[in-house]
Amino acid sequence: MTTAKNYRIEDISKVSRQQLIDGRDVEALTGARFTRVSPAHGVEVSEFPDADAADVDAAVAAARRAFESGWRTLDGAARAKLLHRVGDLIRRDAESLALAESLESGKPISQARGEVAGTAELWEYAATLARHNIGDAHNHLGPDVMAVSIHEPVGVVGMITPWNFPILIISQKLPFALAAGNTAVVKPSESTSSTTVLLAQLIREAGFPDGVVNVITGAGRVGAALVAHPGVDMLSFTGSTRVGRGLAASAGGDLKKVELELGGKNPQIVCAKADFAAAVDAAVFGGYFNVGQCCNSGSRLIVHRSISDEFAHAVVERTRHVPVGDPLLATTQVGAIVNETQLATIERFVGEGVSAGATLLSGGTRFAGATPLFFEPTVFTNVTGDMSIAREEIFGPVLSVIPFEELSEAIRIANGTQYGLSAGIWSDDINEALTVARDVRAGTIWVNRWMDGYPELAFGGFGASGIGRELGRQALAEFSEMKTIQLQVGRRASRWVEAPDADRPETS
């Protein structure tokens, strides 16, 4: 067995990156740049061009040219080869991608390694779909007609991604949009832009034509310019519900197609008769994975009252042994919070929980002595469904235990937020499990498991968790327009009934 490598921040040099537009590495047209500091170490680790609307113009124009000059009509087998090659190149560069991801996000390197491995699989899966971009055929509409419905690419897709799983999230969109024949302009989060830039370079190395994938770097302002650009046909966004709402409103005015993956406040319902140890394990993993900065975080633990105290204490006991610290160490499980703003948000929610009367069982503060952006894994009990810690997405390592008596009450609490991304049920009773699976409104339901995702399974949310679905075999349809083509069988009979001459009105 090989031992996973540790890194030391002292050995890391700051890297300077560029945008990729029309196959070339370029600065922002203004020459402006911005810097990223590793949140776990307070050290500058990377620097990027700070784009503005003129850079967006250049990237969209390149994407349009690439779309019209052959990419749109390329055969699926050729697309599949290119997509597969990207998967291979991601595997080749997996370690350097994981390191870049960990440095900029503050996530543990072990989790960054897992993220990169999952990313390669997404490109490989999209490659298989590229050869099966099939529509529908109709042969029973009438004796003189057949019809086919085919998918056509939408055109230029603007993609905007967040900082929590940058290379994974762009790869839930990009390879599928490319498989469907679209071109793209990608704007990663300003906090974690490196792996998206590196991915674009791998896409170029794989042999994709210039302009098919373009990456611009900068803050929300340049994202807004991309959203508003008249040359963008579709927007695919992952991020906060707040920004997603604004984006959808703007896209709605322009009648652009949108696909949104937004926040979640995901319940895990734990019944009295369940695999207690597995549920505790899932609670800890679901709450602290990626430092809780995860749209699928299982932050609401809705636990049967008969076991809720015991459950909460078991979670606290496990929490005590979670290795928190330098994300560059292979053993670390909880790293740093991405930035001060996010940390302040977590602190505000924890304060609101305490003021509302919830019991703080563990954590609740910054880590004393560490660099400033670490927060202790936190557990609340005696939480009620109306508290902000039970309703709002915190995006930090904060778990709330909410007791219930009847399953119907648990389902009501589970459905009691604006979100509907994912939910879980822990129960040995098949009827309890099936009732939750049917009645909880969420895009994914886990029964006696939590958090696993597969490229084959659709992902997305109800309500304020988003619009549309990524992944799965329907992912190509999400990035397509459907065109119906009717075919006449035999000679077309006239549909006009000619009036006899005598009945025709006089015309002058």
Contact positions vs ligand ADP (CB under 6 A): 160-163, 187, 189-190, 219-220, 223-224, 227, 239-240, 243, 246-247
Tokens of 214: 């373009």
- Of 290 and 480, the one with the shorter C-beta distance to ligand ADP is 290
Question: How far is the C-alpha of 179 from the C-alpha of 126, rounded, in Å?
Answer: 6
Residue in 190, 295, 393, 432 annotated catalytic? 295
Q: How far is the CB of 223 from ligand ADP (least distance, A)?
A: 2
The yes-or-no answer on residue 271 being catalytic is: no
The smaller minimum CB distance to ligand ADP, of residues 168 and 410, is found at: 168
- What are the C-alpha distances in Å from 258 to residues 68, 164, 220, 243, 420? 21, 21, 17, 13, 18
**Identity of the residue, 243 or 270, whose beta carbon is nearer to ligand ADP in the bound complex:** 243
Residue 166 phi/psi, 5-degree rounding, is -55, -50
Q: Which CB atom, from 127 or from 198, has the smaller least distance to ligand ADP? A: 198
Residues with Cβ < 8 Å from 414, sequence gap 6 or more? 267, 269, 300, 302, 423, 436, 440, 442
C-alpha 335/C-alpha 323 separation (Å) is 9
Tell me how many degrees the CA angle 188-193-196 measures, rounded to the nearest 5: 75
Cβ–Cβ < 8 Å for 461, 264:
yes
Catalytic, 294? Answer no
Closest approach, Cβ 298 to ligand ADP, in A, equals 18
Q: In angstroms, what is the minimal distance from the CB of 159 to ligand ADP?
A: 10
Comparison of 181 and 223: residue with beta carbon closer to ligand ADP: 223
Per the CB < 8 A criterion, the answer to whether 469 and 444 are in contact is: no
Q: How far is the CB of 253 from ligand ADP (least distance, A)?
A: 14
DSSP string covering 369-390, please?
TS-TT-B--EEEES--TTSHHH
Measured from the CB atom, the residue of 145 and 228 that comes closer to ligand ADP is 228
| Minimum separation from the CB atom of position 360 to ligand ADP (A) | 25
Residue with tokens 């700070």: 50
Among the listed residues 101, 190, 261, 470, the single catalytic one is 261
Q: How far is the CB of 17 from ligand ADP (least distance, A)?
A: 16
β strands within 154-263, DSSP E: 156-160, 183-187, 213-215, 234-238, 257-261
Let me know the angle formed at the C-alpha of 312 by 453 and 268, rounded to the nearest 5 degrees.
30
Q: At 50, list the tokens.
A: 């700070």
* Contact status, residue 358 vs residue 35, Cβ threshold 8 Å: no
Active-site amino acid positions = 261, 295
